Amino acid sequence: MTRRLDPTMNPRRVVVTGIGPITAAGIGTRRLWDGLRAGRSPVREIDRFDASPFRSRIAAQIDDFDANTFMDSGQARRLDRFGQFTIAAAALALDDAGLEPGRLDAGRVAVQMGSALGGVSHAEHQLARFLERGVKAVDPRLALTVFAGAASCNIAITFGFSGPNSTNAMSCASGTIAIGDAWKLIRDGTVDVALAGGSEAPLSQLSYGAFAIIRAMSTRNDEPELACRPFDKDRDGFVMGEGACVLVLEELAHAQSRGARIYAELLGYGNTNDAHHMTAPRPDGAQATRAMEIALATAGMGPADVDYVSAHGSSTPLNDSTETRAIKGALGTRAFEIPVSATKPYYGHALGASGAIEAGITCLAMHGDWVPPTLNHDTPEEACDLDYVPGSGRSHQVDVAVSNSFGFGGINAAIVLGRFGPPAEDGPVASSSDA
């Protein structure tokens, strides 16, 4: 790959040295990688709550998550599921990076997180307790769990990081925005290390129902594993998921000084708004295109440099056709020459965590020289005419990748990741805390 910008303009380079995924496809890098290679969707009928009032009754639940694996039982009891996911993902990422929090300069470590709903599902459960038994039945920690900022604050408190701290709530682009903001902090010299990503635990009746009411989700209830089908002609809406992912970002010299394994280099970031509608994307995709163009420009890259696109690919009729248009707008003819895959069939649409999960998967794909398929892409349609890697995954060397995230309110975010060093022969290295 060729970096076209004068390197003296941006002397601090940022690399990814740790990935901490909590997903329905797998927890930890090794299990997630194995889940991707298996090529199966874990989507099934919801059993967390009664979904019978809704047209949609399926989701990507995480059934094998045990908070006690990642924290002591006292902390696990104090946190709601959103908080547990957050701490677990951070712990996995630190372990994967080989970083001991106590050996870091705490003031030079940032925490940047994203979540669309934060602890709203926990608040929903507590409201039911309040209505049934009164205020004394409400969890006294409710105020400390319901706000999205609990994500970054809990990480900072748990691991002792006192650098810049923030959690954004920019819908389904939150995780990608958090990564982009962390990249800026390292690039500009404010910190040397950052934990960045997203967390979401939306599987409760009211939170789920809010999306069901607006008919945004698939109603393929009889074939749940086939319901999430990005870019396919027969797609009928997204499938909700839950989960989290935290990346460890480091300034390059900091990572090299300790002999860190480097998954990828974070090269660029772009963020725009459609200024069009709260739920529908701008039809021409112009601002989504511009987000990708900004990300590539800050990376010093052009369309010819891009080898792979990790698509937002929500499996909704409007998003997928608009994203296709936007990718073609940003990459021109190059868009037809490279794989473009969407991985949400593996873990559902985890809202504010999705972008971070997808960034992690892109790093794994780059490190492992293999791109995952777009599951359930069986029937092409005219408006979606790119190479979406249908059927099964593909051996493919990725030197430069663009990862997209789009959200309610017209939010568009894109990051550019680049290969650092030769590909691994056996895919990602499993961390000791893979669970």
Q: Let me know if residue 285 belongs to a domain.
A: yes
Determine, yes or no, domain membership for 293: yes
Question: Residue 7: its pLDDT value, please?
Answer: 42
CATH assignment of the domain containing 355: 3.40.47.10
Determine the pLDDT at residue 145.
Answer: 86
- DSSP at 264: E
128: tokens are 């039911």
pLDDT tens readout for residues 295-322: 999 999 999 999 999 999 999 999 999 9
Number of domains in the chain: 1
- What tens digit of pLDDT does each residue of 187-240 get? 999 999 999 999 999 999 999 999 999 999 999 999 999 999 999 999 999 999
Q: What is the crossing angle of helices 150-159 and 81-97, to 10°?
A: 50
In this predicted model, what pLDDT tens digit does every residue of 65-111 receive, in sequence order? Answer: 999 999 999 999 999 999 999 999 999 999 999 999 999 999 999 99
* Known active-site residue 349: yes
Residue 125: active-site member:
no
Asked if residue 9 has pLDDT above 60, the reply is no
Angle at alpha carbon of residue 239, lines to 88 and 352, rounded to 5°: 45
Convert 224-238 to b/e letters by CB count within 10 Å (16 or more is b): bbbbbbbbbeebbbb
Of 153, 172, 245, 384, which one is the catalytic site residue? 172
Question: Distance (Å, rounded) from C-alpha 190 to C-alpha 45?
Answer: 46
Q: Which of 122, 254, 312, 367 is catalytic?
A: 312
Residue 133 pLDDT: 94
CB-based contacts of 9, cutoff 8 Å, min separation 6: none
Instruction: Kindly report the pTM of this predicted structure.
Output: 0.95
Nearest Cα to 242, choosing from 285, 212, 279, 199?
Answer: 199
Residue type, 132: E
Is 434 part of a structural domain of the chain?
A: no
Nearest Cα residue to 288 out of 271, 267, 301, 276: 271
Residue 299 domain flag: yes
Which of 384, 187, 399, 404 is closest to 293 using CA atoms? 404
Which among 122, 254, 349, 377 is annotated as catalytic?
A: 349
433 pLDDT band (50/70/90 cuts)? very low
- 189: nearest Cα among 272, 252, 276: 252
Cβ pair 246, 156 in contact under 8 A = no
Is 355 inside a domain boundary?
Answer: yes
Quote the tokens at residue 298.
Answer: 């800050």
Q: Using CA atoms, how far apart are residues 150 and 121, in angstroms rounded to an integer? A: 14
Strand ranges inside 29-139, DSSP E: 44-45, 58-59, 109-114
More confident residue, 341 or 428: 341
Residue pair 315/344 in contact by the 8 Å Cβ criterion? yes
16: containing domain: 7-418
Q: Residue 2: inside a domain, yes or no?
A: no
215-218, long-range: CB < 8 A, 24+ apart: 215/55, 216/279, 216/316, 217/55, 217/56, 218/56, 218/58, 218/315
**3-class SS of residue 241:** strand
